[in-house]
Structure 1
Amino acid sequence: MTSTIDAQVLPTPTGPLSLLVHEGVLVAGGFTDDPGAMFARLPVALRELPLRTVPDLGKPAQAVRDYLDGDLFALDLVELDQPGTPKRQRLLAALRAVPAGTTVSYAELAEHAGLPRTAARAAGAACAQNLIAPFVPCHRVLPSSGGFGGYYYGTPVKEWLLRHEQAL
């Protein structure tokens, strides 16, 4: 049996959310109705596998439904995997540890990752290359200068997520 990348598109109040799973592990998630757009961002080895749409991914899809219903910690329980250097992995782990309902600055994120000498720019790059939104909650990172900063899926999506988590 050939391994596949399984995809499901879920409706959310802020637009469609595509989830991609490989062998039961979430490898991509993003606010788009096109799973192919998420698939194109995966590492080469995963892009060599067939992409197929399925009616229900199980645990990751249920976690999204639970999150939208108010269980703000449901996404934390989903197993996921994304590529990156050891430094990037530390930043992504620190990002995943930012609790719902709170925000941090890019500099604070670097500090929480144990990388205080890392410029906020490296933390920003980790967010920009994050493949698994909102499970790795880059929407919870705000610039220390104020405002919302950037978000791969647009500021309105970031604002909605923060409002949903009551971090605004």
Structure 2
Amino acid sequence: MIYFSEHDSPLGKLLLAATEAGISGVYFEEHRHFKGKDDGWQYAPEHPHLMRAAQQLDEYFAGRRRQFDLPLDLHGTEFQQAVWRGLLDIGFGQTSTYTQHAGHCGKTNAVRAVGTAIGRNPLSIIVPCHRVLGMSGALTGFAGGLERKAYLLRHEQAIK
């Protein structure tokens, strides 16, 4: 069962999803890789994982939180999950490149595959894929849109 709620943020409405095991999704409006809620999803704004995620997102946007402390329930291939978990090592206000992250994950010859996995990250903001930049430092590839990626990076630099 997947539970969901909607939460207002400075970047627009976020759809938060969770299972009993933990947070499984944070999606922006017009999120590139989000296919929408399935029929089996249940609206549950009082679900403890969703309430805790909403609170921590508010703290993050208010500049009072630099790291999320939430149980995660990541759904993807073993490769994707390894790439996503590696993103958690990129600290608040820090950035990495796709090439550096591929090396960090032990996949130096799979930069494109690592980039594709990063782009499919279901936990935007909480699993900080916005901290990964192109080799030249350019903003590239963010399922929520480059404007939102730029906002998140500016936000973290402003309260670093």
TM-score range, shorter chain: 0.7 to 0.9
TM-score, normalised by the number of residues in structure 2: 0.85
Aligned CA-pair RMSD: 2.5
Q: 4+ runs of 1 displaced by more than 4 Å?
A: none
For the residue of structure 1 that corresponds to 2:126, the secondary structure is coil
Partner residue in 2 for 1:122: 113
Taking structure 1 as reference, are residues 33 and 89 closer, same or farther at Cα in structure 2, changes over 3 Å only? closer
In structure 2, distance between residues paired with 1:146 and 1:38: 26
**Contact residue 18 and residue 38 of structure 1 kept, 8 A:** no
In structure 2, distance between residues paired with 1:149 and 1:113: 20
In structure 1, distance between residues paired with 2:73 and 2:7: 20
5+ residue gaps, structure 2, are none
**Contact residue 5 and residue 16 of structure 2 kept, 8 A:** yes
**Contact residue 45 and residue 51 of structure 2 kept, 8 A:** no
Number of matched pairs: 156
CA-CA distance at 1:153 after TM superposition: 0.9
Structure with more relative contact order (C-alpha pairs < 8 Å, separation 6 or more): 2
CA-CA distance at 1:31 after TM superposition: 1.5
TM-score, normalised by the number of residues in structure 1: 0.81
Partner residue in 1 for 2:36: 40
Letter in 1 for 2:62: D
Partner residue in 2 for 1:21: 18
Deviation per CA, 1:73-115: give whole Å up to 9, x if none. 242x111122222222221111121111011000101111122
| Structure 2 residue 56 is the aligned partner of structure 1 residue 63 | yes
For the residue of structure 2 that corresponds to 1:97, the secondary structure is coil
Matching of residues 70-89 of structure 1 within 5 Å? 70-75=63-68, 77-89=69-81
Partner residue in 2 for 1:44: none
Q: Once the two structures are aligned, what percentage of the paired residues are identical?
A: 31
5+ residue gaps, structure 1, are 42-46
In structure 1, distance between residues paired with 2:64 and 2:114: 27
